[in-house]
Structures are given as C-alpha cells and as structure tokens.
Chains A and B, each alone.
Chain A
Amino acid sequence: MALELNKLTARIDEMGQVMAQRQAKHLELSSEARALLKANPAVTEELLAKIELAREQDAWRRGAVPLGEALVEPRTPEGLHTRVTLIAADGSQIFPDSDGISPYYLLNIGSIVLRRGSGQAPTVGSAPEIFFTDKEVYDDANELRTAEYVGIQRQRREIEALADLAEQERRELGGDLSQTILAMTDGPLLPWIRQDMNDSEAMAREIEFTAQQLERLHQARAIPVGYIDNPNSAYVLRLLELIRMKPETINRETLRAYHYQHLTDRAIFDDLQPNERTAVFTVHTDANRRYEALTNDRIAFVYANMARTKNEPVMARLEVPSWVAEDPRELDKAQAAIFANCEPEGYPYVLARAHELAVVSANERARLEEMLLGFMLQSGILPEMSPKARNKLLTGGRQWR
C-alpha cells in the first residue's frame, strides 16, 4: 500500500474543520447574495451602465448580462409537446501518450436520436477515429499534440454530429416543422478556449466552425442546447457584485477583489421549483464576443431546476443561441422536453446514453493497444514502451489486458 493513511489523520481532522468553516461562510454569503438579488430584481439603467463601466475597466470577464427586464423572472413551461426528437452527441478520447507504444490519439463520438412519442427504440451510433500520421499527431513545432488540441477536435465532431443528425431528422420528417428537434451537447455550446491561448487565429477558426454548425441547426429548425450539469459558474454573482458597488468605486482592483469568492450561482437560485427556470442572461466571455462578432448572435443561458421533488434542487445551466432565448415559447419547448427526458431524475437520458456510447473504457483501450501491438509485430516493428510506462503498468492498477 502506497498511501499511509495513518500519516494523514491529523491533517484530515484539520480538513474537516476547515470544510465546516467554509460551509458556514458560504451559507452566510449565499444568504446575503439571495437578499441582494431579491432587493434588486429589476434591470435598471444604472446596472446596465455599471456593466459597461466594468467592461471598460477590466474586460469584466465571465459576468452575466441580463437579456430581459428583470433579474428575477422565474418561469415554468406550460405543457409538453409529445412529439419531440431529442438528439444528443458526446465524445471521448484517448490522448496522445509520449510514453506509449506508438504516438496516436483516438476520438469516439456517441450519438442518439430519441423520438419521444414514437414508442420506438432510438437510433444510436458511435463513430471512432484514430489519428497516427505525423501530420495528425505532431504540431508545427514537432511537438506531440496536446490534450487541449484533442479536446477541441472532439468538440468539433460533437457539434458537427448534432448538425448532421438534425438535418437528417428534419429531412426524414419531410420538412415537417411542427415536430420540435432538440440538439443537445453535454457542456457549453461554444468551444472552451483558454483565456491565455495565444493563437488568436486558431481561436477564431474554432468559433467560426461552431458558428457554422449552429447555423446549420438553425436552418434545420433545431434547437441547440448546451446542458451543463451541476454548474460551477458564478456569472450572476459577478453581476451582483456590481450592484453592491458604487460606480465611482468600479475599477480593475475592486473588480478583482471578489466578494463572493468560491460561491456559485447555484447558491442564489436553489429556491427554483422543479422545472422552473431563471431569467435569461448572456455571458461576457471572449468566445461569446467573437461569436457575436461573426454572427450577430450571442449564446444565452438560464438556470433550471431539473429535480422532480421540491426542496432537493438539481440545477442545470441551459445554453441556447439568442435566436432561441428571445422566444420564450421556444425555450419552453426545449426545457419541457429536457425535463421530461431527465430519467432517472436529474440528468437527461439522451446525454447519459450518448456518453455511454462514446466512452472508451480502460479495458477497450488495452484491447486496442494489444491489437496495435500485434500489427506492429506483424510489420516487423518491435514496439517499445518507455521504462516509465512499463513501470506504471507493473505498479499501477491499470491492466494491460
């Protein structure tokens, strides 16, 4: 046994105390933030001016911008369209491993098309791709592709798969627009891009690609939804920070002295009733700014409670393009269908299945590498793992077979 737990006992005890203190502080801050929101439910000219000021002072990254006239505007969709097609795509990957037997990476995209009300089994599929040529696995500096690069390739395929499937579904419906098509991804709609990413052209390419796929979904009259389970975002809290501040005190320093540190927006919206959502916001991020510059559209979001029972909220952030968010009935259709699909409670079935279809287990990876090993030997190549990788196999829990 490598982990000698007896040596950690004292620190674990201390950890428990720190956690209790943190919890108490969070409860206090949550209560304060909820009271502040309750006391300031309207979107005032003053607030909008503060947002502009914050943007000028410090770019004011990751702050929520209200799209309606109120910050507090809970809404529950009425009824549910029985005939709804829910499409979901999710991906998984094997990252390039510099210590492995051969440089390669793998992407696997799982997808599901569930036609609610049809009584039929959904259409499911998975699309694995393996990348191994020099051009595929090495970048321009001849370095092995990073996890971030592979992640971006995965995101591209997920959103593209959604657009492909939505177009196909609309065609199969004979262009019938009465049937709602929902296209869901597990996570944000726009690609996650590091703020410090220095390749501006690469960022632009990814946003442009995503924008194209969202436009394809728009043309297919499908509703794209990015579903973020248990969100850790604090976009609305950043907005509340501005409410607390006087305009003359808003500057780079005060904006970064974050009062609601470590708190998330879940803390202020946990009083939402089952199937109820918040007001609609957009978020001020670099990716959204670039997307808006390209399309004149913005990605908007709401928080919604996906729990079936009261007092046990299961919060999700639903991201949609503005062309969906601007029409509350479209958003109602999407939310109602997602809520109904949260079987078992709390998480959409289609996303769980898309993930299951995509995921590459350790056992599957081992079999793939075993197959690769066999073909290498047949081709007269004696594969050689690095001593580090070999020792990891010997000492770690990972089974080669």
Chain B
Amino acid sequence: MSDDKIRLWRVLRSSTTAFSVGCPRPQDTDGESLPEFGALVKVVRANGDIIYGLIHDVRIEDDAFVRQLVAAAVDEPEIIEDQRQKRQVPIEVSVLAVGHGRDLDVYHRLPPQPPGALDDVILCNAAEMVRFSERQDWLRIVLAAPNVSAEQLIGAALRRTALSRPPDQRNAYLVGAGRELARLLADDLVRLDGILRQLRL
C-alpha cells in the first residue's frame, strides 16, 4: 500500500451519507492508483474538516460511441486503446461516508456537512488507514447503509486496513474486528459467517 497521497478526482455530488466522485479513466496508464472497491478515501474541506469514506461502487458508464464500437466488433488496437485510455468515458465512483474528523482525531459517525462539489478526493495512506481503523465503530454505519453490498464492502475494507499494518499485527487486528462483527450481528449468524469467510488475507 503506497503512502503517497493520491488525488482520485473530484466530488461530483454529495450528501451527508454518501458522495460520488468523477474519475478520468478506467485504466492505470500513468502509474496512478485507481479507485478500488473497499478503499478508504478522504476529503479535506477548506475549514480543515476531514470526511472519510469507503469506495463501494466503481461504475464505468457506456455511451453510444462505445456501444457502436462493440456492436461492430471493432478490433483495431489503436482504437481500443484510445477508448480505454484517452476518452472521457464517465467513470463514477460511489463513496459511503463512514466518519469525519480533524487533524488526528477521527469520529466514526456521519459528517455534519457533506463534501462540496469539486472538492479533492484523496486515497488515504497506510498511517491514515491505521488511525481510522483503531476502533471499529464504522462497521455499524456500513451494516446500516442501504443500497450497499455491506458484507462485501466490510470484507474488502478490513483486508485493506489489515494490510496497512505490520505483518505481525494483522491477524490480531482481524480477530478484533471479527469480535466486533460478532457482537453487531449476534442475531444474524448467516450474515456474520459470510463476512468472516472473507477476512482471510
């Protein structure tokens, strides 16, 4: 996991529970990290407030041009690469708000205000991921979120936050997260089992 702060792109629209981000292209051609399901991102507002979110969907929109190329079975490599790398195909990244904070403080609750349109969205580095996941209260927000694949998202996010720790701490971290999940899903063992099965690194 790179420690570099990388801007994904900018906020397109937002609410206090979720926001959408525009991304320029689907493939990593210039060494940029691209949005991945379960990644922790942050938006730093002008007043210093930080809003944390988890990427829960990456959607590549099609358009008439792409549909036409697919239908015509175009296989010219230069055209395929143009479409993949250079066209402004709308790529929309959906982010679930899971916390907010300021400086080193992190609170696992919904932010008082949503990010602003065109705010920078930055992929959190390893230190930020460790700091964010010292406590697991954010799991409750994900489990309660509508229209989100909560089990898949929790699995992906916990694997990433585990990998951001030193190797000798990862297992203990996942066991702790598992305990918290067992408490939250005590009455839904099938769902709990589904998440725990995904926590293997």
Contacts and interface: CB of A to CB of B under 8 A. Distances in A.
B85 interface: yes
Nearest to B77: A119
A349 B82 CA distance: 11
A1 interface: no
A124 interface: yes
Tell me whether chain B's interface is mostly helix, strand or loop, or mixed.
helix
A353 B69 CA distance: 13
B190 interface: no
A349 B80 CA distance: 11
A121 B82 contact: yes
B72 A122 contact: no
Contacts of A119: 77-78, 81
A250 B82 CA distance: 54
B72 A121 contact: no
Contacts of A121: 29, 78, 81-82, 84-86
B172 interface: no
Contacts of A391: none
A349 B86 contact: no
Interface in A87-131: 112, 114-116, 118-122, 124
Interface residues of B, number: 17
B68 interface: yes
A114 B78 contact: yes
A356 interface: yes
A174 interface: no
A121 to B, nearest CB: 4
A352 interface: yes
A344 interface: yes
Nearest to A114: B78
A58 interface: no
Contacts of B68: 344
Contacts of A343: 69, 72, 74, 76, 79
Give the interface size bracket for A toward B.
10 to 19
A115 B79 CA distance: 10
B86 A344 contact: no
Contacts of B78: 114-116, 118-122
A344 B82 contact: no
Nearest to A116: B78
Given A344-B71, A356-B65, A349 B81 contact: no
A2 to B, nearest CB: 28
Nearest to B29: A121
Nearest to A346: B72
A124 B29 CA distance: 15
Contacts of B65: 352, 356
Interface in A10-47: none
B12 to A, nearest CB: 13
Of all A-B residue pairs in the complex, the 6 with the closest CB atoms, nearest first, are: A344-B72, A121-B81, A121-B85, A119-B77, A343-B74, A344-B68
22 contacts: A114-B78, A114-B79, A116-B76, A116-B78, A118-B78, A119-B77, A119-B78, A121-B29, A121-B81, A121-B82, A121-B86, A122-B86, A124-B82, A343-B69, A343-B72, A343-B79, A344-B68, A344-B69, A345-B72, A349-B76, A349-B79, A353-B87
Interface of B: 29, 65, 68-69, 71-72, 74, 76-79, 81-82, 84-87
Given A119-B81, A353-B87, 12 more contacts: A116-B78, A118-B78, A119-B77, A120-B81, A121-B82, A122-B78, A343-B74, A344-B68, A344-B69, A344-B72, A345-B72, A356-B87
